[in-house]
Structures are given as C-alpha cells and as structure tokens.
Amino acid sequence: MQHKKDIKSFSGAVLSEWFADRKIKPYRAGQVLRWIFHRHVDSFDKMTDLSKDLRRLLSDEFSISRLQTVRVEESTDGSRKYLFRLKDGNLVESVLIPEKNHWTLCISSQVGCAQGCRFCLTGRGGFIRDLVSSEIVNQIWEIRKGLDSEARLSNIVLMGMGEPLANYDNVVAALKVIMAEDGLQFSNRRVTLSTAGLVPGIERLGGEINMNLAVSLNAADNEKRTYLMPVNRRYPLETLINACRAFPLDRRRMITFEYILISGINDSPEDAEQLAKLLRPLRAKINLIPFNAFEETKFQKPAESEILAFQKILTDHHYTAMIRRSKGSDISAACGQLRRKEAG
C-alpha cells in the first residue's frame, strides 16, 4: 500500500511545484491550503471548487493529518490546557492563555525534553522524540478549529514541551506554515520562539526567519546557571550573550529574557543587579516568572515582597520587567503535568 504524504507538511511553493509537475495549474495549491488552514477542512471531498478528478488524485497521494484530543482542562481564570495523542500514541500538551483582548497559544516542539533544567517537570520524563512539522502546526489547527472566535487567537509561543532549536528543521518548517499567507497567517511580530540557549540554533534562526526570540536565562552568572540549566556548560553566558547581540532585530523589537524566580536560588538583590549588568549591551526586556511549584521539587516561589523588590531593581535600571503570573493554578498548570497524569 502506498504511503501517503501529509499535506500539512508542504509549503505553498513545494505544493505548487507538485501540481506543476502533473500539468495542473499551480494556483490550485493555494486553493487546497486555504481549504485546510482557513476553513479547517479535513477531507479533500469537501473542497467543492476542485474537480472530482483532482480531489481523487489528492486523496490518493496525500493525507490531512489530525491530532486526537485526549483531554482539555479549563481553569477558572479562562486558560485551557490541551492534551493531544499523536499517531504513535505519544502525548503532547498545548496551553491556551487568555490575555486582555486576545489569546496566546503555547505549543510544544518535542515529546519530552533532553535539556534537563532542574526547575522543569517536562525534562524529568526524559526525551522521547522530535515532533514533525505537521504535529507542531496541528496543535494550532485543532485548537483554532474549536474556538468560537478564532480571530482572538493572535499570538503563538513555542514555549511548551521540548527545546525548539534542538528540533531545528521541523520547527522552522512549521513556522513557515504558521506565518504563511496560504498557511495559518500569523504575523511574525506575534510568533515567539523560546530557547534554553542553543547558540548555533540562535545563529541559524536569525539568518533564516523573521520572528521574536525569547531566551530562558534564569541566572546571570555561569555557576548558578549551570546548576539550573546544564546547557550552560556547552554555551556559557558570554557565548550566549554574544549570539543574542548578533541576532537581527527589526526596529523597536527586543529579545525577551525569561527569568524564573526561585526562592533562595536566584532572587536576591545581588542577582537582580547582576542581571541588569549582563543585559546592558542588548535590546532586552525581561519576563519575571515566579516559580510554579510541582511535586518532586524542593524549589519554592519567592515571597511577593522579594518578587517586587527584584522587579524594582530592574526598572530602576530602565528595563521593561514584567511579572508573568502563572495561570491555570487550579488545573495541571506546570508544563508536562497533564501528560504525566494521563500516563499514570
């Protein structure tokens, strides 16, 4: 039996070539992709402006992949956590986050994670495999299909399970579909990739695609960051900051540095002063994230007074420093928690 190709993994340009090779007008590729990504159709038979012969050909050659929704948990604050099953039975999570006048969707790029950050639940389960590009795209497709007002879903962040730059080729292929006119049509100003600091990936990304970059920093000295994030042994802060300095930014864009505040570890006034000094050469803004505790960890969230004092030091140094409160505290809020619950 012929193995069908997943049409969601094809860009408009590549699909147009496929049509042209078969003496079919290339503009048909755009029609097909608009049916899939704009009208959320999951069957070629429903593409009524295509001939029956073309629909039959497409059905013979391609599949339109879907994810199975295993569970959705909804918080009292409006956030929703989705657990999806992939074709091989593995599970991934996505989180829909309500903002003031829009939604942000946090998606995963791997099943598990190999980075081993001490504060992360996902990494404790180890790394299983990379997601292919269509599995990354399908998290958005499935969730947007089920929304009452899909226009309010305007922001995408790759901050879920996995390290996006460790799955570079699949992630970039997915990003091109996410931002394409004949794809999911998200503005590049509203798509953000978050990395633990894989420097070669940062360097490649800057030359290949225009989007927002966020870096999970969490400490401003090498000893402390290596304790929290083993990746710092390979790419210490000096190397990481140089890569960030070289990352191309549009006018008025900044790199976001995520800093998880952990009581007694990285939350002192000295830590804040060191962070301000470290980021001085960069166009940087800082998201302060009070630690979201989970079972099996000794880490704790700092007291509110310490969080505010840390923020004030940064703002006194003229940084934009926002405190990002965890949402979904009444559901499986920590990344990887819902997947672990389902797996038993």
**Is 120 among the residues known to form the active site?**
no
CB 314 within 8 A of CB 275: yes
Q: Amino acid identity of 114?
A: A
**Is 113 among the residues known to form the active site?**
no
Q: Could you tell me if residue 335 is left (phi over 0), alpha (psi between -120 and 50 degrees) or otherwise beta?
A: beta
Could you say which of 61, 73, 93, 295 is catalytic? 93
Could you say which of 74, 306, 335, 342 is catalytic? 335
Q: Which residues are catalytic?
A: 93, 335
